[in-house]
Structure 1
Amino acid sequence: MNVKPWFSYSAMLQTFAAVCALAAAGAAQAAEVGVTDTEVRIGQFAAQTGPAAELGKRMQMGILAHFNAVNAAGGVNGRTLKLVSRDDGYEPEKAAAAVKALIEEDKVFALIGSVGTPTTLAAVPAINAAGIPLVGPFTGAQALREPFNRNLFHVRASYFDETERIVQHLSTVGITKIAVFYQNDSYGKAGLEGVTRALAKRNLKPAASVTVERNSVDVTAPLAEILKAAPEAVIQISAYKSCAALIKQARAKAYGGQFFNVSFVGSKALAEELGDTGAGVTISQVVPFPYTPSSAIVREYQQRMTEAGHKDFDFSSMEGFMAAKVFTEGLRRAGKTLTREGLVTGLESMREVNLGGFIVSYGPKNHEGSRYTDLTIIGRGGRFVR
């Protein structure tokens, strides 16, 4: 008696292939690092301890102020945002270890708000190896912009933009004898190059170029060189502790020239370190003035910070807030099926996006974000004026 098999070999192969395809699709969906149906894990490596700790803490504060508001409203495409932070002490070796741990141990989907040039540079090899996006690094160094790196998305202007703005201002008011005090690492050298380039455009050279070691406040030798050169102004490219030490000691020796800083110094932290000595110190900025609700993004920042229990506004937390705002917009554009490639594509689709008075623009070969700069002055009582 011949009985036909109830299931043909051909049909069995087709069914097996279909099951494998479904399993592979499910595995691919589940395999995206740091993403579940309800949550996205985002990593930050930044100083939480040491002489630059306030920069990392304030950056984190701004990021969380935005993330908390987004989560309270239901998240992005149904997923809440969880920030995982690791302390790098503003040291390159610790930063490299921190970003490796975020990627391999914490299994984060993407990175946001790193703080510092040497630390971010030290993390780049691990970032590139993992193909993980980093949004809004708190650095304006050209070495992180050239050559183009598809994994890095800048929100702030570069140090070249900031130092050009400072030198332009000084030359406009007739000040041409300018010294540079810079941190002896990739950050300080990036700023020095920016100042030198800006001066060269005006057929000028630094009156003196002096250095300080990272995380050090030993400024005795560099101050002696500055006083010997007697410049009309000093442009500082360092962190707030060393910059404050130099200004205080210079004032104590009756130096009457002007002091200028780039935004990375940490404006609020510098003003607090200086106290009454800070009046008249100028700082270039790369985000809107956070103290006056004159634009939609500043009003939103102030509201979110207040909701998070913070009423002490400042530039660093404003930058963290803006980095988080750009990040979440990229997530939204990436869609429900979230991948790292989708986040990159989503961010690159942001062309001339107005975030409420601050324009951010990216493209497949342009991750610069913004070239916005401003100048602020520390006034009496540590208050900032434009």
Structure 2
Amino acid sequence: MRIRIVAVATALVVLAAACSSGGTKKPTGESATTTPSGPVVHVTEPGVTDTEIHVGAVTSKTNPLGGNYADLDAGIKAYFAMVDAGGGVFGRQLKLTSERDDNTVSNQAEVQAMLSQDNVFAAFVATLLFTGADLLQRQGIPTFVWNINPEFADKDHLFGNIGAICFGCIGQGLPWLARKLGAKKVGVVGYGVSQESKLCAAGIRDSFKKFPTAQVAFFDDSLPFGVPDLSSQVASMKKGGVDFVTTCMDLNGVFTLAKEMAKQGLKAVQYLPNGYDSDFMAANGQFFEGDYVVTQFVAFEQTPRNKQISDFFRWIGRTGGKPDELSMSGWILADEFVTGLRKAGPAFSRQKVVDALNAGVYDPGGLIEPIDWRYQQTGRQSSAPRSSR
């Protein structure tokens, strides 16, 4: 199986959805998990005792796409286990004590319930829809988000695995890739029921207008979630001579598309903004031979292995989680939370954590492109579009 992996943190930075800035690196891994010992400073914040710090997570565990969004929790738990094994933070153990499923359509209700019922200091989110974003901002909650949502932008209490996304912005990444492949005709496919997917598709189309390395010969941004039949779209792409396909869809959507392309004999390279799942590719890789898949972190396969990746595999195994994109995103967000917590100091508060992160660059030792939160809360940067999952 020949799947080309493009890690945003390494070779193909121009395919990233958010602009990033460089910064100095900090120690990572187990060597960086301990906090200087001393008397515990009493903190009067929600979710904080003299021995523990409690956080909560809301994910779209139940969703129409078959996505593994709840794996975010496994990554958080693995990172917390590593930190706790090293003595915790300021004499306290870190605990994910609330794990809520928003069933895709109840995000705001579940966020409200977590805040009013679960007594948490900070929040983590991996959801298809993010209607609770404004509530988290208004309540001043340090919130750490697997960022695929336009609601993330322009909120200074929200921090992501990447900076704010400009969904409809023009970028050079995909035109560059098309030129590299020698592609002449492009097919663009997106969901009509997702505003970010429609913006993503429009951004791709407009990128090829500005950087005409290839012609957009097919465009459809009207698909429903869970679309079972793409025969008409593939037939049109084949008739139009499409040799490069890019989508703003989830993994199941691109799988449906890939199977139909194989069935109709459409020989085209597919760019997969979603698809970094080793188990899925092991079972279905024959449909993706020669395609490109993007990651928002250093690929697991890269050698020599980044120390954070080594620690991730060690601790995700010890805690019974599955190593995949969502659990790695949970690990990154947990590291970001702990980074802010340590910078806030022993007399930490929610606002001090927020202020500490917003004061500069977050850089987990080369695991991702460094994020400068002084500038990257806005979704108005001009960059390559990212898909809706």
On whether the aligned pair clears a TM of 0.5, the verdict is: yes
Question: Taking every aligned residue pair, what percent have the same amino acid on both sides?
Answer: 22
- Quick one: higher RCO (CA 8 Å, sep 6+), 1 or 2? 2
Contact 1:182 1:238 in 2 (8 A): yes
Q: Does 1:281 align with 2:291?
A: yes
Q: Does 1:341 align with 2:347?
A: no
Shift of 1:350: 4.0
Q: 1:268 to 1:41 in 2, by over 3 A?
A: same
Q: 1:358 to 1:324 in 2, by over 3 A?
A: same
Higher helix share: 1
| Number of equivalenced pairs | 335
Instruction: Describe the SS at the equivalent of 1:56.
Output: coil
Q: 1:36 to 1:219 in 2, by over 3 A?
A: farther
TM-score, normalised with respect to structure 2: 0.75
Shift of 1:55: 2.8
1:331 to 341, 349, 366: 341
User: Could you tell me which residue of structure 2 aligns to residue 124 of structure 1?
Assistant: 133
Instruction: Describe the SS at the equivalent of 1:276.
Output: helix
Q: 1:34 to 1:113 in 2, by over 3 A?
A: same
Q: Distance in 2 between matches of 1:221 and 1:339?
A: 55
TM-score, normalised with respect to structure 1: 0.76
Q: Does 1:260 align with 2:271?
A: yes
Shift of 1:244: 0.7
List runs of 5+ in structure 1 lacking aligned partners. Answer: 1-27, 374-386
1:173 to 181, 186, 189: 181
Q: Distance in 2 between matches of 1:107 and 1:219?
A: 46
Q: 1:196 to 1:209 in 2, by over 3 A?
A: same
C-alpha offsets along residues 275-318 of structure 1, whole Å, 9 cap, x if unaligned?
432322321221101134522222222222232245x5333322
User: Could you tell me which residue of structure 2 aligns to residue 305 of structure 1?
Assistant: 316
Q: Distance in 2 between matches of 1:309 and 1:358?
A: 24
Instruction: Describe the SS at the equivalent of 2:370.
Output: strand
1:41 to 16, 38, 54: 54
Q: 1:106 to 1:163 in 2, by over 3 A?
A: farther
Q: Which amino acid aligns with 2:343?
A: R
1:149 to 147, 155, 164: 155
User: Could you tell me which residue of structure 1 aligns to residue 191 of structure 2?
Assistant: 183
User: Could you tell me which residue of structure 1 aligns to residue 325 of structure 2?
Assistant: 315
Q: Which of the pair has more CA radius of gyration?
A: 1
Q: Distance in 1 between matches of 2:170 and 2:324?
A: 18
User: Could you tell me which residue of structure 1 aligns to residue 78 of structure 2?
Assistant: 65
For the aligned residues, what is the CA RMSD?
A: 3.2
C-alpha offsets along residues 235-288 of structure 1, whole Å, 9 cap, x if unaligned?
02111112211111221111111111214x554465266343232232122110
Contact 2:175 2:211 in 1 (8 A): no
C-alpha offsets along residues 81-125 of structure 1, whole Å, 9 cap, x if unaligned?
222221123x2x322222121112223222224233xx12x2222
Contact 1:178 1:232 in 2 (8 A): yes
Q: Does 1:212 align with 2:223?
A: yes
1:80 to 81, 85, 93: 93
Q: Distance in 1 between matches of 2:241 and 2:56?
A: 45
Instruction: Describe the SS at the equivalent of 1:44.
Output: strand
Contact 1:260 1:282 in 2 (8 A): yes
Shift of 1:220: 4.2
Q: Which amino acid aligns with 1:295?
A: N
Contact 2:276 2:294 in 1 (8 A): no
User: Could you tell me which residue of structure 2 aligns to residue 362 of structure 1?
Assistant: 372
Q: Distance in 1 between matches of 2:264 and 2:218?
A: 18
Q: 1:136 to 1:260 in 2, by over 3 A?
A: same
User: Could you tell me which residue of structure 2 aligns to residue 20 of structure 1?
Assistant: none
Shift of 1:372: 12
Instruction: Describe the SS at the equivalent of 1:196.
Output: helix
1:234 to 240, 245, 255: 245
Contact 1:188 1:237 in 2 (8 A): yes
List runs of 5+ in structure 2 lacking aligned partners. Answer: 1-41, 385-389
